[in-house]
Amino acid sequence: MRPSSILFLVANVAIYLFLLLPVIIVIAISFSGTDSVAFPPTSFSFRWFVRFLGEDQLVSALMVSCGLAVASSIISLILGGIAAFAIARGTFWGRSAALNFLMTPLMVPALVIAMALLEFFAFLGTPSILGLLIGHVIITLPYVMRTMVAGLTGADMLAEQAAISLGCTPLQAIRLVTIPMLTNSMVASVLFSFIISFENLPLSLFLSDPDTVTLPMQIYNYIQWVFDPTVAAAATINFLVVVVLVFVAERTIGLSRFMGVMK
Amino acid sequence: MSKVTVRDLCKRFPGTVGADGVSFDIPSGQFLTLLGPSGSGKTTTLMMIAGFLQPDSGVIEVDDSNIAALTPNKRNLGVVFQSYALFPHKTVWENIAFPLKIRKLAPSEIDKRVSRLLELVRLEAFKDRSVTTLSGGQKQRVALARALVFEPPVLLMDEPLGALDRKLREQMQAEIKNLQRSLNVTAIYVTHDQDEALSMSDSIAIMNEGKISQMGSPEALFERPNNRFVAEFLGGINLFPITAIHSEGASHTGKLAIADAPVPCCPPIAGMSEPKWLGVRPERVRIGSPAGGHFDATVMKRTYLGGTMLYELNVADFLLAARVPTDGASPLPEVGSRVSVSWPAQSAWPLA
């Protein structure tokens, strides 16, 4: 092996360690058998996961997070899909302005969005869960837009024209050709929205009420009062959900496409 | 199999001409190629026939019925696109069966017709494969089969071989031609490749700036172009500036600006404006020993091209090209030697 490739390897290992070590430590602690948060753990057990399941507040927060992520990613897909169709196919004035506008939640800090929404919803008297849902749709919409616009503007979309030449009405062509061709983009949109929503803390900080505390928020609350491996177990569960989704994405549509969304 | 008539088809785009009064007739079962550089209006014309572009004015008839007002899905024409436009989520068989399913044919009939087309394009072994796994040539064969399986009266092709490499193109040209003949479908083919047009077509319409510059059989266009654009677009040509044409009975001579003696040429086309050039294809130029032809020239350069030797000759600072067969029957003079230049009268065309 040449010295340069050894250097490359060492650098890679160092980067991965830097990125993954905190997560590895938290996961290791969550399987600890001792009462205190200590690394490396001296014994192995599942007791902190059992404890997690016994903590009503954490379990209900997990449920809230899952529900919110499912609902917001489906709503985002429907709204974003329709908007992407109009932007990619339409010829109306101001298309790129509309796209840029829908992408702005990527550029504005989530805290700022959360603060603005808090003021707005307080003014309207919107219930907390509805406010959270709207907030999560806003922050996931850019990911849906990116993926769906890219999918719709792909060269293969000439296939829709071909379908019409073969006898389809325009609506049949969309149903039989365009939508099946966009399956990958739709799967990617939903998975990404789910992850973005599931992990979001700032919106919950501002918009949650006692009944709508999300998992990241509950973890944050928990460690202010108690510092035991239960919180590590919660973090591990949170991490596991995301890893499973990324794995599904990799298996169904390929990670390269998935990562393309981030560019 | 149907005849197609196009009358005065016009389409203006902001800032450019799309099509400007395009008219042609194609007899049943014939192969017409619209040939021209990009922006000449050939694809615009084809897309208007397919129905994807709405003409500003004009008539498109298939078997004497005007289809110009029909939506593209009601026109029942086969369309093949340059980028194949296959359905990536379907198999080869499903792609080809698609137009039959839309037409709600009986499953047994669908099976019969798809099998026949699969056989014709030699893809039986690939019928259950996803189209994304096929090579470019195979994809285009699926596209052809899909556009032909519902037995359309007319097949429209928009540069279908544009994405393929040279060798595959030549093979596919023959294959498309065979399919078209054996199914006896009237075909309209768009390309910018003159060799493709010459080898495939019954007739060629050469387009320039939205108009048909000249239309005729490949031979007629190559052997007697009636304007400079057609002459230059279809193969190489020497354009000699001329000052006058003299006609005496059946014989015609041109006065070249670069040589004293008048040279023989064919008669100007009736009604053409004052000819300014004599066009002679390099293949028709003969070279011989000095003082034996229309005028003498000096060999500046010669390039061996396999079957022919390409000569660059200089006469009074005018450079002309000549292609001489390397069959041993013709002399192949060296660079620097003096040679005579001549051509048969019917190979020199007065052009405006």
Read off the tokens for B57: 């004015």
**Lowest mean pLDDT: which of A151-165, A202-216, B13-27?**
A151-165
Q: Does the pLDDT value for residue A263 go beyond 50?
A: no
Provide the domain count of chain B.
2
Tell me the C-alpha distance between B60 and B9, whole Å.
Answer: 8
- Start-to-end CA span in chain B (Å): 39
* Chain-chain contact of A166 with B99 (C-beta, under 8 angstroms): yes
A156 pLDDT tier (thresholds 50, 70, 90): low
B209 lies in the same domain as B262? no
**Higher per-residue pLDDT: A68 or A89:** A68
Q: Is A115 near chain B, with CB under 8 Å?
A: no
pLDDT classification of A255: cutoffs 50, 70, 90: low
Confidence of residue A262 (pLDDT cuts 50, 70, 90): very low
The residue-averaged pLDDT of A81-87 equals 91
The number of beta carbons lying within 10 Å of the beta carbon of residue A163 is: 25
- State pLDDT tens for residues A167-191: 999 899 989 998 888 888 888 899 8
Q: Is residue B180 part of a domain?
A: yes
Q: Could B89 and A181 be called an inter-chain contact, meaning their C-beta atoms sit closer than 8 Å? A: yes
Same domain, B242 and B330: yes
**Phi, psi of B193, deg, nearest 5:** -95, 115
CA distance B229 to chain A (A): 33
B73 and A183 in contact by Cβ < 8 A? no
DSSP state of A44: B
Contact B50 A165 (CB under 8 A): yes
CB-based contact, A1 to chain B, within 8 Å? no
When computed from its CA atoms, the radius of gyration of chain A, rounded to whole angstroms, is: 22
Same domain assignment for residues B208 and B243: no
The token pair at B173 is: 């040209």
3-state secondary structure of B193: coil
The answer to whether residues B145 and B137 touch, using CB atoms and an 8 Å cutoff, is: no
**pLDDT tens profile B28-52:** 999 999 999 988 999 999 999 999 9
Q: Is the CB of residue B279 less than 8 Å from the CB of residue B239?
A: yes
Residue B142 and residue B209 in one domain: yes
Asked if residue B300 and residue B214 are part of one domain, the reply reads no
B129 and B102, same structural domain? Answer: yes
Residues B85 and B207 grouped into a single domain: yes
Residues B216 and B255 in one domain: no
In terms of domains, do B38 and B74 share one?
Answer: yes
A72 Cα to chain B: minimum distance (Å): 28
CA distance B324 to B285: 8
pTM for the model stands at 0.77
Residue B231 lies in a domain: no
Among residues B193, B223, B253, the one where a domain terminates is B223
Instruction: Determine the Cα angle at B147 with ends B145 and B148, to 5°.
Output: 65
Contact B86 A169 (CB under 8 A): no
Is the residue at B229 inside a domain? no
Confidence check: pLDDT of A38 > 80:
no
CATH number at residue B316: 2.40.50.140
> Residue A76: what pLDDT?
96
ipTM for the complex?
0.81
Which of B48, B87, B117 best tests the A interface by mutation, with the highest count of A CBs <10 A? B87
Phi-psi region of B217 (alpha: psi -120 to 50; beta: other; left: phi over 0): beta
Q: What per-residue confidence (pLDDT) applies to A92?
A: 85
Listed residue (A231, A229, A233) closest to A217, CA to CA: A231
User: Of the residues B188, B223, B258, which one is the last residue of a structural domain?
Assistant: B223
Yes or no, beta carbons of A163 and B83 under 8 Å apart: no
Domain boundary among B167, B202, B223: B223
Give residue B259's domain range: 236-351
Task: Clarify whether residues B174 and B268 are in a common domain.
Answer: no
Q: How far apart are CA B348 and CA B263, in angstroms?
A: 9
Which among A158, A170, A177 has CB closest to B83?
A: A158
- Residue in chain A nearest B146 by alpha carbon: A166
Residues B54 and B190 in one domain: yes
Locate A184 and state its tokens. 């990958």
> In this complex, is the C-beta atom of A177 within 8 Å of any C-beta atom belonging to chain B?
yes
Class of domain A56-260: mainly alpha
Query: Same structural domain for residues B208 and B336?
Result: no
The 8 Å CB, 24+ separation contacts for B309-318 are B310/B282, B311/B287, B313/B287, B313/B339, B313/B341, B315/B258, B315/B259, B315/B341, B316/B258, B316/B259, B318/B240, B318/B258
Mean pLDDT over the full length of chain A: 86
Give the mean pLDDT of A55-67. Answer: 90
Domain residue ranges of chain A, discontinuous segments joined by + = 56-260
Residues B293-314: tens digit of each pLDDT = 888 899 999 999 988 999 999 9
DSSP E strand boundaries for B199-294: 203-208, 211-216, 238-248, 251-256, 263-265, 277-280, 286-288
| Phi (first) and psi of residue B19, to 5 degrees | -135, 140
> Is residue A261 over pLDDT 80?
no
Nearest residue in chain B measured CA to CA from A154: B85
Q: Give the CA radius of gyration of chain B.
A: 24
What percentage of chain B exceeds 70 in pLDDT? 100
Pick the range with the lowest mean pLDDT from A1-5, B181-185, B229-233: A1-5
CATH number of the CATH domain containing B83: 3.40.50.300
Phi-psi region of B303 (alpha: psi -120 to 50; beta: other; left: phi over 0): beta
User: Quick one: DSSP state of residue A104?
Assistant: G
Q: How many CB atoms lie within 10 A of CB B9?
A: 25
Which chain A residues have a beta carbon less than 8 Å from that of B146?
162, 166
B77 chain-A contacts, CB cut-off 8 A = 165
Q: How far apart, in Å, do the first and last CA atoms of chain A sit?
A: 33
